[in-house]
Amino acid sequence: MDTTELEKFAEGVTRPDEAAREAARVRWAETVALPPRSFGRIETLAQWLAAVQGACPPRQLEQARVVLFAGDHGIARHGVSANPPEATAALVRRISLGGGPVQALARTHQASVRVVDVSVDCDTSAFADLPAEVTAGRIRRGTGRIDQERACGRDEAAAAFRLGITLADAEIDSGADLLMPSLLGVGHSTPAGVLIGVLTGADAAAVTGRGSGIDDRAWIRKCAAVRDAMRAARPAIADQIELLATAAGPDFAAATGFILQAAIRRTPVLLDGIGSLACALLAQRIAFRTPDWQLAAHASAEPALQKAIDRLGLEPLLDFKVRADGGCAALLALPLLRSAVTILAETGSYADEGLPEPLMRSRL
């Protein structure tokens, strides 16, 4: 996959339906029996949903899907994470078998969770009892140590990018009306910081956070790793597949292809965690309109995440100091989107509700 092919993807991303957005804005302002701006940002969410669905009022979100891109990173074995690298495979098993907070939240909020082993560093026999779809797309086992070597081969990054496209198509074709991608893997905040640092022009210290809860010594090691990986990544900034191969890995490549294809298929995306924000930033580099199809689930203590959000022009839906990602933050934010649809769609006019018309109504 070369830059010419990526340019074709860029041409496929169009704008949401501005007429539907305006219709939703006018409905809030002139039709529903509510004082202006009664629901603040909830009204903006409803307008966004109308635009991405091309309908006013928007349809309720019936089939929200979390897709977790699992992968290990060689840098995780060099003291940049509070968790052992073996934890990634254990998390894949736990979630695939219905465990963990992401599955509990998905059950509570009537969503589904899909786990995809893109590059977990274990033998596939460890997942023999899991659904076949978990390992069907595996690209390789782990990645290189990005502060000293490439994460993976260019062909592997391209294959993972195509895998992400295929997964997005599969989810959308099966009825998904909201996609919530997230990365799952010990140490993934390090390559995420590298991508965000390179793409925003920030220095290493400004994009290196505490991740899983590392101490000062580990933060210094992580910052040095991000600095060295950024130095290797900068020459590849104009070639997104090469950048993924150099500084990130197959899991990031798959998530980037997934996010980009969702925009091409005009399907809304709720971004979850620093990994998905890094991939969204790279997707924006490929097709500048992709952020029009995205929301950011939450703010975070990770400095790189806020830099990515700012560059994408997004505003987090939640700011409850949640550190968990892996789909959890997106699921916590999901009720806000459904509430926005419900209020706009089901609130009647003053006449419908048997209320007197206000003496003055200002447009939003």
* CATH number where 329 lies: 3.40.50.10210
Q: Is the pLDDT score of 349 beyond 60?
A: yes
- Percentage of the chain modeled with pLDDT above 90: 85
Residue 115 lies in a domain: yes
Cα dihedral sign, 108-112-118-123: positive
Per-residue pLDDT tens over the stretch 110-132: 999 999 999 999 999 999 999 99
Residue 15 lies in a domain: no
Residue 359 lies in a domain: no
Q: Which residue has the higher pLDDT, 247 or 5?
A: 247
Angle at which helices 216-233 and 189-200 cross, to 10°: 50
Q: Is the pLDDT score of 5 beyond 90?
A: no
Q: Is the pLDDT score of 364 beyond 60?
A: no
> What's the average model confidence in pLDDT over 219-238?
97
Q: Which residue has the higher pLDDT, 218 or 2?
A: 218
Residue 347 lies in a domain: no
H helix runs in the chain, sequence order:
3-12, 18-26, 41-53, 87-96, 100-108, 154-173, 189-200, 204-207, 216-233, 240-247, 250-264, 273-286, 303-312, 328-346, 350-353
pLDDT score, position 361: 61
Residue 45 lies in a domain: no
Q: What is the largest CA-CA distance in the chain?
A: 71
Question: What residue type is assigned to position 292 of the chain?
Answer: D
Mean model confidence pLDDT for the chain: 94
pLDDT score, position 362: 56
pLDDT score, position 22: 97
Whole-model pTM?
0.95
* CA distances from residue 271 to 95, 245, 250 in whole angstroms, order as listed: 19, 22, 18
Q: Which residue has the higher pLDDT, 60 or 302?
A: 60
255 and 66 Cβ atoms separated by less than 8 Å: no
Sheet harboring 269-271: ordered strands across?
A: 112-119, 64-71, 178-184, 269-271, 294-296
What H or E segment, with its residue span, contains residue 66?
Answer: strand 64-71
Nearest 5°: the CA angle 184, 185, 186 is: 145
Q: Which domain holds residue 152?
A: 71-333
pLDDT score, position 153: 98
pLDDT score, position 151: 98
pLDDT score, position 107: 98
Highest mean pLDDT among 5-14, 26-35, 283-292: 283-292
Q: Is the pLDDT score of 221 beyond 50?
A: yes
CB atoms within 10 A of CB 194: 34
Residue 179 lies in a domain: yes
Residue 34 lies in a domain: no
Nearest 5°: the CA angle 327, 102, 123 is: 85
Alpha-carbon span 141 to 84, nearest angstrom:
16
Q: Which of 81-85, 88-92, 196-200, 290-294 has the lowest mean pLDDT?
A: 81-85
Angle at which helices 240-247 and 216-233 cross, to 10°: 150
Nearest 5°: the CA angle 350, 354, 356 is: 60
Q: Is the pLDDT score of 323 beyond 60?
A: yes
147 and 141 Cβ atoms separated by less than 8 Å: no
Residue 25 lies in a domain: no
CB atoms within 10 A of CB 240: 24
CB atoms within 10 A of CB 120: 28
Q: How many domains does the chain have?
A: 1
Q: Is the pLDDT score of 363 beyond 60?
A: no
Q: How many residues does the chain have?
A: 364
